[in-house]
Amino acid sequence: MSVVIKRIVVLGGGTAGWITAGLLAKKHAGRSPNEGIQISLIESADIGIIGVGEGTWPTMRQTLAKLGISETQFIRQCGATFKQASKFVNWIKANNDVYYHPFTEPQGHNKVELAPYWQALMPPGSSFAEAVTFQHYLCEQGLAPKTIANKEYEVVANYGYHLDANKFIGLLRDHCVEQLGVEHIVDTVAKVNRRANGDIASLQTVAHGEQVAELFVDCSGLRSLLLGETLNVPFMPCTNVFLADTALATQVPYDNPQAPVASQTIATAQPAGWIWDIGLQTRRGVGYVYSSAHSSEQTARDTLAQYVGSAQGSEARKITFTPGHRQLFWQNNCVAVGLSAGFLEPLEASALMLIETSANYIADQLPAVTDLLPLVAQRFNHMMLKKWRGVIDFLKLHYVLSERTEPFWQQHRQAETVPDSLQALLKLWAYRSPNEYDFTDAVEAFSAASYQYILYGAGFHTDFSHMPHLYQQGVLAQKHLQLNQKRLDQLKFTLPKHRDLLNKLNSISFSTI
């Protein structure tokens, strides 16, 4: 018997829960109790939120705008800053080497392929990102990606954000409840009730009784109470691909309240993992993600303490995880979003992107009746499995290209740890650069441009000499390299320092679109 979907219950009040509830409410909640779909979110006051992830993709701009949240309010309330890139330090030979993954595509992308030409046309020692995009310079000089004269969410240089996760959750919660009509239930789930066909019928709460819905969204974190524990969807570990299983996270205040703020996530390789360094308005978020098989906890704490230059590394919060994801993400009338679906590691801030992708799909493809849930679930699982595989390949690429000699890094390069799909691409890229034919699906996690930034930033060599007739666009390539330099010369005189823009935003608002 087909039933009209009238209520959706989201379990869990972290970033995943509130973004999903908000996008669902924005699209499906009616203007009165008799209209639309009721979106309810249940969170327990007794269960903490991990709340470490502080980096986003540029996609977060669209998510915030879709939710109706002011960019100025978001930046002020969440201590947020602008993120323009990821910067990788000591990932190649541990010899003060650096490369960038900027958010802006290479100059002339989809017009001319610069990979075969940039080294011959640029001064010796220039990096790929330095040659093909101005964003490398903006990050190195501490410049913002826009000015106070730009409108909310308007872009001069492509950007995402760095944010305080707990403050962000607070902003989302208030906005979802007060502006979007999400029902907020603070309670603990004591029991999950099932139907004969295996569906979830309701959640039995301690103080608010039975909560019945047609669809349940599992945002219960690593526990995965609904999809994992109740519906028994298997967890597929990726421990054969990724070795890190522990993170130590801390917060480091600035020595000077007006200290420069980096607009890139800085990822610095260490003997048994890597340290993230994220600049917020009043502090930095710093953490060491490492393999417990290659480092003791004390050694890891000492490594972090040495990096931050204080004892704060020894006092950092410890988080353990198993890299991997669920075999399926939507089973019966339950779909998992966020950590309940899986987690690999913090590299490249893919976790929030996966939340956004999942939540948008659920909101946009939600069927009117329950009979259609299996069809939507099948399509969702197909898309998300492809997305996860793309993330796995891209994150692994960073390790495969390293030449570091410590056991952690050597093991990461062993062929049996590298997915077959990535091995195949690397064979192709030995003779041509990544292009759109390698990533034909609209749901690909990372683009050919992103792969180029990592490959050539890390020193990968593509031998273009075997088909010279394909590479006769040197004049056009030089024109685009010059256009990039011209654009850079304009921006370095018009864009403010990152800290200066943040200071202005705390008293002057962006104009609204």
Express each pLDDT in 106-129 by its tens digit: 998 888 899 998 888 888 888 999
Instruction: Assign 459 a pLDDT band (cuts: 50, 70, 90).
Output: very high
C-alpha 315/C-alpha 328 separation (Å) is: 37
Read off the pTM.
0.95
Q: Which amino acid is at 335?
A: V
Q: DSSP characters for 324-336?
A: EEES-SEETTEEE
Q: Per residue in 483-507, pLDDT tens?
A: 999 999 999 999 999 999 999 999 9
**In this structure, what token pair is assigned to residue 432?**
């041509």
Q: What tens digit of pLDDT does each residue of 82-109 get? A: 999 999 999 999 999 999 999 999 998 8
Q: Round to whole Å and give the CA distance between 85 and 158.
A: 9
Write out pLDDT tens, residues 327-384: 999 999 999 999 999 999 999 999 999 999 999 999 999 999 999 999 999 999 999 9
In the prediction, which pLDDT does 311 show? 65
Amino acid at position 312, single letter: Q
For residues 267 and 287, what is the distance between their CA atoms, to the nearest angstrom? 10
Distance, in Å, from the CA atom of 19 to the CA atom of 23, rounded to the nearest integer, reads 6
- Using N-to-C axis directions, what is the helix angle for 15-28 and 350-365, rounded to 10°? 30
- Residue 96, Cβ density class (10 Å: 0-12 exposed, 13-18 middle, ≥19 buried): exposed
- Assess contact for 285 and 278: CB atoms under 8 A: yes
Residue identified by tokens 């260490």 is 270
